Amino acid sequence: MLEAFILITILSGFFGTIFKKNLVMKIMSMDVMSTGVVAYYVWVASRTGMFTPILAGQVDNESIKYADPVPQAVILTAIVIGFSIQALMLVGVMKLGKNNPTLESNEVEKNNTP
């Protein structure tokens, strides 16, 4: 069930990126798709266990299943990079918005083609 929600999130972001005409909505759709990808990797990391692999003292219980920390560390980096790319895209849209009356991609293309 969780996999279906993750897939729906990724696909809704993907189709929003393709079919939305407003540039801000395209950026938001890309963020939704990125959130789905992050959720997928967190889901993959938690398949082996749900506990964080941080030991507070000596734990002798071998039955505790820990989550894989490597995908979580990679995803933290991906979140930071995704946030910076999103901020850069929003600055680009702000620059386009100063010279164009609308942020519709078709109108921006018409106004900026020689």
48-98: pLDDT as tens digits: 777 777 766 656 666 777 777 788 788 889 899 999 999 999 999 999 888
Which of 42, 10, 43, 3 lies closest to 29 in space, CA to CA? 10
Which pLDDT belongs to residue 62? Answer: 67
Q: What percent of the chain has pLDDT over 90?
A: 46
pTM of the predicted model, to two decimals? 0.77
Q: Give the residue-averaged pLDDT of 9-24.
A: 94
- Percentage of the chain modeled with pLDDT above 70: 93
Judge whether 42 and 27 are in contact, CB under 8 Å.
no
Q: What's the rounded Cα separation, in Å, for the pair 48 and 50?
A: 7
Do the Cβ atoms of 30 and 17 come closer than 8 Å? yes
Pair of tokens at residue 99: 């010279």
d(CA 51, CA 54): 8
Which pLDDT value is given to residue 86?
Answer: 93
Q: Is the pLDDT of residue 14 over 90?
A: yes
**66, β-bridge pairs:** 51
Give the H/E segment covering residue 89: helix 69-99
